[in-house]
Amino acid sequence: MENLKEKKVRDIMIPIYEYPLISSEATLKTTLKVMQDLWYPQVNKPKTGRRCVVVFEDSLPVGTFGINEMFKAIEPQYLESVTFVGMKLPSSSVPIFWAGLFTDRCMEVAQNTIKRYTTPFEHFANADDSLLRTSCNLAKYKLEFLPVKSNNRLVGMVLNEDIFREISNLVANGESYSDTRTDKLA
């Protein structure tokens, strides 16, 4: 096989400035309004496909808030582990969900800040990393995306679906890096 120059993370990442930034002190209600605009755009406004908002604290990005974090926020407290005399006990093995609980939980947490539900940035890709290294890390950590750093600064996000698109272009369509790159330069 010929020696092709492969794409790097920087070639497929979404720049961080394309993500909505939200203060960790924002309420769930405010955050969800921003997220609604991402998924249900107004007329003549394209859907962005962003899965989360980037949460910042003291002017620094600290994590993300998305659908899974919202699910965690509305989870009834009785499903969380209980601490008794310093030991963590498992929650009830048979949770009870009654009619109206979903609505009640949504309304109860609406004014909570997103700080307590934010998923902190723990794993990163480097902008110059290979797509293979990044796909391995996405699989290893069971993530849908990785924040991307360059010179110790957050510069973007790389999504598993973007790497999948590169794989499918190579495998299913037989397109090499130079084939797809030429189209972008024309």
Q: Which segment of 38-42, 94-98, 147-151 scores lowest on mean pLDDT?
A: 94-98
Give the residue, 131 or 4, on which the prediction is more confident.
131
Q: Which segment of 18-27, 94-103, 137-146 scores lowest on mean pLDDT?
A: 94-103
pLDDT at 33: 92
pLDDT at 80: 56
pLDDT greater than 50 at residue 54: yes
- Asked if 117 contacts 69 with a C-beta cutoff of 8 angstroms, the reply is yes
Percent of the chain with pLDDT over 70: 76
Domains annotated on the chain, with CATH? 9-77+96-185 (3.10.580.10)
**Predicted TM-score (pTM) of this structure:** 0.75
Q: How far apart are alpha carbons 57 and 71 in whole angstroms?
A: 22
CA 102, chain centre distance (Å)? 24
pLDDT tens profile 7-31: 999 999 999 998 999 999 999 999 9
Q: How far apart are alpha carbons 69 and 119 in whole angstroms?
A: 7
